[in-house]
Structure 1
Amino acid sequence: MSNKIRELPAILLSHISKSYGSGEGKIDALRDINLEIAKGEFLALCGPSGSGKSTLLNIMSGIDQPTSGTVMFLNKLLHVLPEEELSMVRGKHLGFIFQFFNLIPVLNVFDNVFYPLILNGHFGKKEAHERARDLLYRVGLDGFANRKPGQLSGGQQQRVAIARALAHDPAVVIADEPTGNLDMATGEAILELLLHINQQTKTTFIISTHSAQLKERARRVVEIKDGGLVYDSRA
């Protein structure tokens, strides 16, 4: 018999359902989702528009609450935490990457990475400064620190967003269509960067996507349709 202790997952979803409205107007956005995501995984969450991908990401991250079921995030019952503690968990352990970058246009590249580190209260100015510089170097933008987002290409803006998401060393990064607003070549470059970071840091990546490139390259693919889980490449 093996004495190896099984590592706890990064995220464990048990019988997750999410409904909106009631009666004849009720919409079942998610239906009895069971999903375990290991630490260090690179998972592509696929499905057509309206399938429930964004709703599932929001529930994983505690932005939204399930109608029923349980959400375990790093061994915490996420869906029952009070809002103050939930915000602390997200601020410390979660990074977010969005399709439309969500950079602050009046701040330069460096400050878009630096200020969130200061505002979340986990780092002093000196360490935040060093981390911002290091992450911009790692994503290939160390020479662009003083530029504003409007002076960058779409791919460069997404690299800034990736640096911002990773600067506080999160355990899990959730990305909602991170290559959806980019051309194919730029999207491939961003995908290569995310895969490299995953290999280098063992950060867990959960990526919602329509991209065939990402689906082919991800180490695990999960598909949902009409709110239900219909495929898991690990099964």
Structure 2
Amino acid sequence: MANNIKELPAILLMNIYKSYGLGENKVDALKNINLEIAKGEFLALCGPSGSGKSTLLNILSGIDKPSAGTAIFLDKALNDLNENQLSVVRSRHLGFIFQFFNLIPVLSAFDNVYYPLILNGNYNKKTAKQQALHYLESVGIGALGERKPGQLSGGQQQRVAIARALAHEPQVVVADEPTGNLDLATGEAILDLLMKINEETKTTFIVSTHSTQLKDRARRVIEIKDGEIIYDSVQ
């Protein structure tokens, strides 16, 4: 008998609203967002600054809670979790990549990947070292592990940040403008790397951008404007 059970999505957002302030100062950052993201998908979230991209990323990753609606992440209703439970979900199942790298300047590239594994309590020292070395190698900078961020180019720093995001082997990676602080050629190389990792590991990637670089290449594109989804390439 054929198995017709549909695999549950990595992320499901249902009727999501997010508002800030009260009365005349109220701002509706997200308005009735409904979105399903499959496991292993590579999704580009596009829109101008102030469109709601970062707010949406914060909601789906459990950093912020919606004013209304339901956010489900890997079968867990984030609305029902307290901050300690949300922290556990993020540390075990989520990887984050930021526009400005967020590396600790006094630590080497290796230590920027190694110490988060130790601090999260998911790995012992031996395994954390192996993971850090492996993922620095996987992003092409294994030979630069002893250098501090100030001794690396912008592209190299972003590769360290990607290794850090991947080292605990999350099921979902959220990248907020990962090429926004890089020149065009370096940004293209970083996008190539992210898409290669997605293809090889089937890790779910959600990448926000306001540039056309990723929009022209991603397998799925979501456009958001004024807090509303105005385009979904799969629909």
The TM-score, its normalising length taken from structure 1, stands at 0.99
Q: Residue 177 in 1 paired to residue 195 in 2?
A: no
Give the secondary-structure state (helix, strand or coil) at the position aligned to 1:54: helix
Q: Residue 157 in 1 paired to residue 170 in 2?
A: no
Q: Cα distance, 1:112 vs. partner?
A: 0.3
Q: Cα distance, 1:179 vs. partner?
A: 0.2
Question: What is residue 234 of structure 1 aligned with on the other side?
Answer: 234
Question: What is residue 31 of structure 1 aligned with on the other side?
Answer: 31
Give the Cα separation in 2 of the matches to 1:2 and 1:14. 30
Alignment size in residue pairs: 235
Question: What is residue 211 of structure 1 aligned with on the other side?
Answer: 211
State the one-letter code of the partner of 2:135.
L
Question: What is residue 166 of structure 2 aligned with on the other side?
Answer: 166
Give the secondary-structure state (helix, strand or coil) at the position aligned to 2:216: helix
Question: What is residue 187 of structure 1 aligned with on the other side?
Answer: 187
Give the Cα separation in 2 of the matches to 1:132 and 1:49. 34
Give the secondary-structure state (helix, strand or coil) at the position aligned to 2:16: strand
State the one-letter code of the partner of 1:160.
V
State the one-letter code of the partner of 1:63.
I
Give the Cα separation in 2 of the matches to 1:47 and 1:191. 18
Question: What is residue 91 of structure 1 aligned with on the other side?
Answer: 91
Q: Cα distance, 1:211 vs. partner?
A: 2.0
Q: Once the two structures are superposed, what CA deviation does each residue of 1:64-87 show, in whole Å capped at 9, x if it has no partner?
A: 110000000000001220111110
Q: Once the two structures are superposed, what CA deviation does each residue of 1:81-132 show, in whole Å capped at 9, x if it has no partner?
A: 0111110000000000000000000000100000000000010111100000
Q: Once the two structures are superposed, what CA deviation does each residue of 1:115-171 show, in whole Å capped at 9, x if it has no partner?
A: 000000010111100000000000001110110000000000000000000000000
Question: What is residue 123 of structure 1 aligned with on the other side?
Answer: 123
Question: What is residue 74 of structure 1 aligned with on the other side?
Answer: 74
Q: Cα distance, 1:4 vs. partner?
A: 2.0
State the one-letter code of the partner of 1:138.
S
Give the secondary-structure state (helix, strand or coil) at the position aligned to 1:217: coil
Question: What is residue 142 of structure 1 aligned with on the other side?
Answer: 142
Structure 1 stretches lacking a partner, 5+ long: none
Question: What is residue 200 of structure 1 aligned with on the other side?
Answer: 200
Q: Residue 109 in 1 paired to residue 71 in 2?
A: no
Give the Cα separation in 2 of the matches to 1:3 and 1:113. 41
The TM-score, its normalising length taken from structure 2, stands at 0.99
Identity rate of aligned residues, in percent?
A: 72
Q: Residue 223 in 1 paired to residue 188 in 2?
A: no
Q: Cα distance, 1:3 vs. partner?
A: 3.4
Q: Once the two structures are superposed, what CA deviation does each residue of 1:169-228 show, in whole Å capped at 9, x if it has no partner?
A: 000000000000000000000000000000000000000101211111111000111001
State the one-letter code of the partner of 1:90.
R
Q: Residue 5 in 1 paired to residue 29 in 2?
A: no
Q: Cα distance, 1:48 vs. partner?
A: 1.0
Structure 2 stretches lacking a partner, 5+ long: none
State the one-letter code of the partner of 2:171.
A
Q: Cα distance, 1:2 vs. partner?
A: 5.7
Q: Cα distance, 1:5 vs. partner?
A: 1.3
1:11-50 maps to which residues of 2 (within 5 A)?
A: 11-50=11-50
Give the secondary-structure state (helix, strand or coil) at the position aligned to 1:3: coil
